[in-house]
C-alpha cells in the first residue's frame, strides 16, 4: 500500500494540472450573437409581445418598468448576455425598438418541447412549442440574409451579420413545462413513455440548427419542480413526501428522469454532430444547491414567495387582483425581493438568477466543465 499511495497522488495531481493548463491556453470564443430557445425561465418579453401587455410588479427591481420577464429583474439569460458583453436579447416577436444585431430570443412563457394538445387559456400552454421556435429561427435567418444583402446601412444596423450565425452561441432552456404537463395529467406510465420522444424532439432541433451552420450549443436541463413554492402551497403534504430540502420527491423524480435521458442524448449528439461543441448544463443541481443553502446564502426560507398571495389554499398570482369573501386582494410584491429565491412561486428572483448564473457561467455545473466563454471548444 505504501508504494501505491504516492502514485495515486501524482496521477490525480497530473490530471488536475492538465485541466488547469489546458484552460489557460484555450482561446476565448468570439461569440458575436446568442440565439435562445425556451420557456418563461428565459423569456425576455415574447409572451408579452404575443399575448398581453406587460405590467408591474415584474421588472421593478432592475428595469423599473414592465419588460415582460417573469421576475423582479434580470433572468439567467440576461446575466449570460452581460458576461459575454452583449446586449440583452430582444424577443423575436417584439416589433418596437428591436435590434437583432447580436441575436434574438425565441423563448415564450408556457412553451414545451413537444407540442401539447392544450391551450394557453386552458392550462397556460403556449402554442410556440420548440418546433415552432425553430421554424421561426429558420425564417428569421433566411429573411435576414435577404434584407442584409439588399438593405441600406441604416437597416443593416439592426440586423445580424450573416457570417455571425455560425459564430453564435445557441442556448436551449426548455423542458420544464413538458414535465409539468406530465404531472398535471397524473399518468406516470404515459409520462415515462413520453420522455425519450421529448428528448428526441430537442435533439432534432439541435440537428436542424447544426445542418444550417450552428456549431456551439449550451443546453440547460430542467430545474427541481418539486421545490417550487407554488407546488408546496398547493398540496396537503405528508412528511414522507418531502426530501431533506423540503421538496416533493415524486415531482423531482420526474425531473431527474428527464435530465438523465437528456444528458445521454447530448452525449450521443456529440458523435452524430462531429463539428459541434455541445455543453450540458446541470441547472437542476445549481438550483437545488441554492435552495438547500438558502439562509447561508443570505436568503429567507426557499419556500417563501415574494410576489403573490398564497394562504389557506387561496392562490392569487403576482400582479393580479381577486375578490375573496367580498374583500379585494391585490397580490403585490414583498418589501425586499433581494431576500427571496422565489419571485412568484414558479420563477426565480433576480438575486437567485444572479447566484445561479455566476455558477453555471464558470463551468462548475457543466459537462464538459468549461466556462461559457470557452464553450465553442470540443472536449
Active site residues: 40, 344, 347
Q: Which cell numbers hold the place of 303?
A: 419556500
Residue 66's Cβ-count burial label (10 Å; 0-12, 13-18, 19+) is: middle
Instruction: Decide the pairing of beta strands 327-330 and 321-324.
Output: antiparallel
Q: What angle do CA 53, 55, 58 make, to 5 degrees?
A: 130
Q: What angle do CA 107, 113, 118 make, to 5 degrees?
A: 95
Say if CB 329 and CB 321 are below 8 A apart.
Answer: yes
Say if CB 71 and CB 350 are below 8 A apart.
Answer: yes
CA distances, 243 to each of 33, 42, 75, 182 (Å)? 40, 27, 27, 21
Q: Tally the C-alpha atoms within 13 A of residue 5's C-alpha that lie toward its C-beta.
A: 2
What are the residues facing 314 on neighbouring strands? 311
Say if CB 111 and CB 129 are below 8 A apart.
Answer: yes
Residues 379 and 376: their CA atoms lie apart, in Å, by 10
The torsion of the CA quartet 62, 231, 287, 43, rounded to 10 degrees, works out to -40
Say if CB 51 and CB 111 are below 8 A apart.
Answer: no
Residues 318 and 26: their CA atoms lie apart, in Å, by 45
Amino acid at each position: 500500500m505504501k508504494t501505491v499511495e504516492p502514485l495515486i497522488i501524482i496521477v490525480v495531481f497530473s490530471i488536475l494540472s492538465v485541466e488547469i493548463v489546458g484552460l489557460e491556453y484555450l482561446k476565448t470564443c468570439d461569440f458575436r450573437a446568442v440565439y435562445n430557445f425556451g420557456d418563461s425561465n428565459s423569456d425576455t418579453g415574447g409572451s408579452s409581445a404575443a399575448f398581453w401587455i406587460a405590467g408591474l410588479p415584474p421588472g421593478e427591481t432592475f428595469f423599473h418598468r414592465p419588460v415582460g420577464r417573469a421576475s423582479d429583474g434580470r433572468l439567467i439569460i440576461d446575466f449570460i448576455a452581460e458576461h459575454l458583453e452583449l446586449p440583452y436579447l430582444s424577443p423575436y416577436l417584439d416589433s418596437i425598438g428591436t435590434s437583432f444585431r447580436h441575436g434574438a430570443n425565441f423563448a415564450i412563457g408556457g412553451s414545451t418541447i413537444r407540442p401539447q394538445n392544450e391551450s394557453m387559456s386552458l392550462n397556460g400552454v403556449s402554442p410556440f412549442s420548440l418546433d415552432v421556435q425553430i421554424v421561426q429561427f429558420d425564417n428569421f435567418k433566411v429573411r435576414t440574409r435577404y434584407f442584409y444583402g439588399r438593405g441600406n446601412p441604416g437597416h443593416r444596423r439592426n440586423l445580424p451579420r450573416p457570417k455571425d450565425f455560425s459564430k453564435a452561441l445557441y442556448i436551449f432552456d426548455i423542458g420544464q413545462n413538458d414535465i409539468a404537463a406530465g404531472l398535471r395529467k397524473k399518468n406516470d406510465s404515459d409520462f415515462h413513455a413520453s420522455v425519450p420522444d421529448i428528448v428526441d424532439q430537442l435533439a432534432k432541433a439541435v440537428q436542424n440548427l447544426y445542418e444550417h451552420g450552428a456549431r456551439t450549443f449550451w443546453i440547460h436541463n430542467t430545474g427541481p419542480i418539486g421545490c417550487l413554492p407554488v407546488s408546496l402551497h398547493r398540496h396537503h403534504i405528508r412528511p414522507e413526501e418531502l426530501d431533506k430540502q423540503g421538496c416533493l420527491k415524486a415531482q423531482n423524480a420526474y425531473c431527474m428522469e428527464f435530465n438523465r435521458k437528456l444528458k445521454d442524448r447530448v452525449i450521443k449528439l456529440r458523435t452524430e454532430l462531429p463539428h459541434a461543441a455541445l455543453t450540458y448544463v446541470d441547472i437542476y443541481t445549481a438550483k437545488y444547491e441554492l435552495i438547500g443553502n438558502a439562509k447561508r446564502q443570505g436568503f429567507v426560507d426557499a419556500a417563501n414567495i415574494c410576489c403573490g398571495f398564497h394562504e389557506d389554499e387561496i392562490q392569487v398570482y403576482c400582479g393580479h387582483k381577486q375578490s375573496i369573501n367580498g374583500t379585494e386582494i391585490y397580490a403585490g410584491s414583498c418589501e425586499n425581493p433581494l431576500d427571496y429565491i422565489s419571485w412568484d412561486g414558479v420563477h426565480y428572483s433576480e438575486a437567485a438568477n444572479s447566484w445561479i448564473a455566476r455558477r453555471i457561467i464558470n463551468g462548475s455545473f457543466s459537462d464538459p466543465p468549461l466556462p461559457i466563454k470557452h464553450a465553442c471548444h470540443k472536449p
